A and B are shown apart, each in its own frame.
Chain A
Amino acid sequence: MPDQLLFAIEVTLNGLMAGVMYALVALGFVLIFKASGIFNYAQGVMALFAALTLVGLQNGQVPFAHLINAIFGTDVHHFGWHLPAFVAIILTIGVMILLAIIVERYVLKHLVNQEPIILFMATIGLAYFMEGFGDMMWGSEIKKLDVGLPQGISESIDATTYNWFGYGFFIDRLDIVATVIAALLVISLTLFSQYSKQGRALRAVADDHQAALSVGISLRFIWVLVWSIAGFVALVAGIMWGAKSGVQFSLSLIALKALPVLMLGGFTSIPGAIVGGLIIGVGEKLFEFAIGPMIGGATENWFAYVLALLFLVFRPQGLFGEKIIERV
């Protein structure tokens, strides 16, 4: 095979794996949007907050250490323990569920039946609050996240592909793991929503609130449930991204990449979020590879948005959405 083609394949594979990441974040948006019609601006910050909490718990950091020290003149930093990764992950899941309960209890409950724009604004407030709260709780310095995921280029893939094609593919092992985990997450979410009582309730609420109430479903419970799941998805995204580039504020900005994904995939389609994420991941890498050098590179910064814009113009309902025909 010609080298150019092999290189393009390698770029595509890398793009697919970046796309998995985008898809994960977009998935969190879709879940909440479907169940409650809320566009959750805080989804990205939730990923950051989850990753911060995970690292903090794992390293035995004292929460609010700065604040405590400032008030009491103490000098506490760490509890002096180091939790195993899975314990820290389970505790973080607990924190995300708690967060979901608090959001429902103190924000959503008071805003039922409000206009979508008001709920959207509330999530903007929530995003800034959580960002500041995360900072105050765990400190704002960049942190290393290590839950034992494999890192670095996979030598076996490099060697095998070299043997086959005379060209070794560079694939990050973390990307492979992330892809597998994301796939498992999507499969279990699908099974959950198709076959469990609560999953069915979730779909019911997403479909028709009034009907859901009439069959005995508590909306408040569903909201806590869906925000918990979105929190869990945010944690998974936070772990992957954090393992790759450290836990820092920029993590919350991956949410911005989820936006074009949603415009492609549609705001209410789970398959749409996944396929949209993959298209954008592959698209931006291939575009950079093929066209980038001709126009001075750095196309990855804007490619996704331009693609989304084209979609907005020519197919506003997204890839999988049904054609919108205004009733008159």
Chain B
Amino acid sequence: MKDMSEGYTTADGRKIGGTMMEMKNITLRFGGVVAIKDISFDIREGEIRAIIGPNGAGKSSMLNVISGFYIPSEGEVWFHGSKRPQMKPYQVAQQGIARTFQNIALFKGMSTLDNMMTGRMTRMKSSMAQQAMWWGKAQKEESEHREAVEKIIDFLEIQAIRKTPVGRLPYGLQKRVELGRALAAEPKLLLLDEPMAGMNVEEKEDMSRFILDVNDEFGTTIALIEHDMGVVMDLSDRVVVMDYGKKIGDGTPDEVRNNQDVIDAYLGVSHD
């Protein structure tokens, strides 16, 4: 069964395609805790889809389900029109889904460049035996990957820290390198877990610009989690709102902003 929902055109004239990913009735339990309760939503080709909600709402858990880090207790994940079997995170990555983490997961001992080269892991084809036997060919492949990574380094304006071990970088730059590593995979779907958390205003503006540019220039579909309503309204095409593991709203930023349940969740409760 294929679900190819009609696309739509955004206010700024970008064409959004059919359904890329569909979450169907996802429930996730940890012992007694229900982190996600029967949630369904879709992500369409080319859009920027936001998931928002107060702390502990289950946003990260949802991203972890998409990226294979968590296995849902119930429900189905559909990708490109077919039901996805249970997958390990590395298999999901190989399908063209890259991600960042809420609490930055970088290779702290490696340089920016090496982190991003590692991000190209799924794009590196030659096997170990081939690399050992055709050293020249392997070197050629390596330099092609290097070129691709350098482009992203330029794009993210991080030339100055190419050789710096990322553990020594300030928080804001680490977030940027982590985005770079995800981009290095040239993903079809990019998952960002609170890419702007803990940043100052200037850094937030930079990050917003990068996210919009990635979507615009590379046509990458993006699902991002954000805590802050304001940022989300500027960036995203459609928004899912979660609260206590349940979906309480889904629609364009304007629709969501005027949804009474959403207003209650944001005004009534202050989880942080």
A contact set with B: CB distance below 8 Å: 195-198, 200-201, 203-204, 207-208, 210-219
Contacts and interface: CB of A to CB of B under 8 A. Distances in A.
A201 B105 CA distance: 15
Nearest to B94: A216
Interface stretch (B108-116, B215-223, B235-243): B108-116
Contact of B124 (A197, A203, A210, A213): A197
B56 to A, nearest CB: 20
B69 A213 contact: yes
B118 interface: yes
12 contacts: A196-B128, A198-B128, A203-B114, A212-B107, A212-B118, A213-B88, A213-B89, A214-B89, A214-B93, A214-B98, A215-B181, A215-B185
A211 B101 CA distance: 8
Contacts of B109: 203, 207
A212 B93 CA distance: 10
B108 A204 contact: no
A220 to B, nearest CB: 9
B265 interface: no
Interface of B: 67, 69, 88-90, 93-94, 98-99, 101, 105-110, 114, 117-119, 121-122, 124, 126, 128, 131, 138, 142, 181-182, 185
A252 to B, nearest CB: 29
Contacts of B118: 200-201, 204, 212, 215
| 4 pairs of A and B residues whose beta carbons are closest in the complex | A216-B93, A211-B105, A216-B122, A207-B107
Given A213-B90, A216-B93, A216-B122, 7 more contacts: A196-B128, A198-B128, A200-B118, A203-B107, A207-B110, A213-B93, A216-B90
A256 B67 CA distance: 43
Nearest to A220: B88
Contacts of B101: 210-211, 214
A217 B108 contact: no
A216 B97 CA distance: 9
A200 B126 CA distance: 14
Contacts of B69: 210, 213
A208 B128 contact: no
Given A214-B99, A216-B185, A200 B88 contact: no
Nearest to A209: B105
Contact of B106 (A197, A208, A217): A208
Nearest to B141: A197
A261 B262 CA distance: 61
A269 to B, nearest CB: 11
A217 to B, nearest CB: 6
B61 to A, nearest CB: 15
Contacts of A218: 88, 90
B225 to A, nearest CB: 15
A208 B107 contact: yes
A219 B108 CA distance: 18
Contacts of B117: 200
B138 A196 contact: yes
Contacts of A217: 90, 121
Centre residue among A203, A210, A212, A215 by max chain B CB count within 10 A: A215
Given A196-B131, A197-B131, A216-B122, A211 B93 contact: no
Contact of A200 (B89, B99, B106, B114): B114
A57 to B, nearest CB: 22
A207 B108 contact: yes
A195 B90 contact: no
A27 to B, nearest CB: 18
B122 A215 contact: yes
Nearest to B123: A216
Contact of A210 (B105, B126, B138, B142): B105
A163 to B, nearest CB: 42
A213 B98 CA distance: 10
Given A196-B131, A200-B118, A214 B67 contact: yes
Contacts of B108: 207-208
Contacts of A211: 101, 105-107, 181
A215 B93 CA distance: 6
A212 B114 CA distance: 13
Contacts of A219: 90
A216 B107 contact: no
Contacts of B98: 214-215
Contacts of A208: 105-108
Given A200-B118, A217-B90, A195 B142 contact: yes
